[in-house]
């Protein structure tokens, strides 16, 4: 079982920027088994569509996302190392998000509809692909984790209160 770092326990840790994985690091058993564990975790948990290494205590630029763009197929969990993300076009959409590192909070976030993702695979191969919709949303959420950004920073204005405001209101009640 992987131990998840939450904002309640260690927000400061989650707020740091994850470090680039060097080719030397990528070849180590430690990093390879970390990727394996993360892959297994996301594949087995139906509620989780992605996971970043920083969420399990390792601030390296590694995340897993589920590819939901293959119709009629079980979403495939894909490991991503040292990602570069490009937001494509101006089209955005607002959907509800949650995060295992932020228990019990679900709120609407505006994300780009289409993104281009470049990364390397666990075996060191370079990949560049375009994703849209829910899969593009997962990728943007996980990419943010590597920058120390949480979805609660981006809660859509249209949903009314921000996380901070909600928290303040609750505290003052």
Using CB atoms, what's the residue nearest to Zn ion?
Answer: 99
Q: For Zn ion, give the closer residue by CB, 55 or 82.
A: 55
User: Interaction with Zn ion in 143-172: which residues (CB under 5 A)?
Assistant: none
Question: Residues binding Zn ion: what is the number (CB under 5 A)?
Answer: 1
Nearer to Zn ion, 124 or 141 (CB): 141
DSSP assignment of the chain: -PPPP-HHHHHHHHTSPPBPPPHHHHHSHHHHHHHHHHHHHHHH-TT--EEEGGGGT--BSEEEEEE--STTSPPEEEEEEEEEEEEEEEEEEEEEEEETTEEEEEEEEEEEEEEEEEEE-TTS-EEEEEEEHHHHHHHHHHHHHHTT--GGGGB-GGGSS-HHHHHHHHHH-
Residues belonging to the chain: 173
If one asks whether residue 138 binds Zn ion (CB under 5 A), the answer comes out as no
Nearer to Zn ion, 42 or 99 (CB): 99
Q: Does 99 sit near Zn ion (CB under 5 A)? A: yes
Q: For the CB of residue 29, give the shortest distance to Zn ion in the complex, in Å.
A: 27
Q: Is 54 in the site for Zn ion (CB under 5 A)?
A: no
Cβ at position 145, least distance to Zn ion in Å: 6
CB of 41 to Zn ion, least distance (A): 13
Tell me whether residue 99 or residue 136 sits nearer to Zn ion (CB atom).
99
List 85's β-bridge partners, or say none: 117
Give contact residues for Zn ion (rule: CB under 5 A).
99
């Amino acid at each position: 079982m992987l131990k998840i770092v939450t904002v309640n326990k260690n927000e400061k840790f989650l707020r740091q920027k994850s470090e680039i994985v060097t080719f030397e690091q990528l070849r180590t058993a430690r990093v390879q088994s970390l990727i394996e564990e993360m892959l297994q975790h996301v594949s087995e948990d139906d509620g989780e569509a992605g996971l970043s290494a920083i969420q399990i205590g390792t601030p390296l630029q590694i995340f897993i996302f589920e590819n939901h763009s293959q119709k009629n197929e079980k979403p495939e969990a894909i490991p991503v190392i040292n990602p570069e993300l490009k937001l494509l076009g101006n089209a955005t959409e607002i959907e509800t998000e949650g995060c295992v590192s932020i228990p019990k909070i679900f709120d609407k976030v505006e994300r780009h509809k289409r993104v281009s993702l470049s990364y390397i695979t666990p075996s060191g191969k370079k990949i560049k692909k375009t994703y849209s919709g829910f899969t593009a949303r997962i990728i943007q959420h996980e990419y943010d984790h590597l920058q120390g950004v949480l979805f609660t920073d981006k809660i859509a204005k249209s949903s009314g209160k921000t996380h901070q405001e909600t928290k303040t209101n609750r505290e003052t009640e």
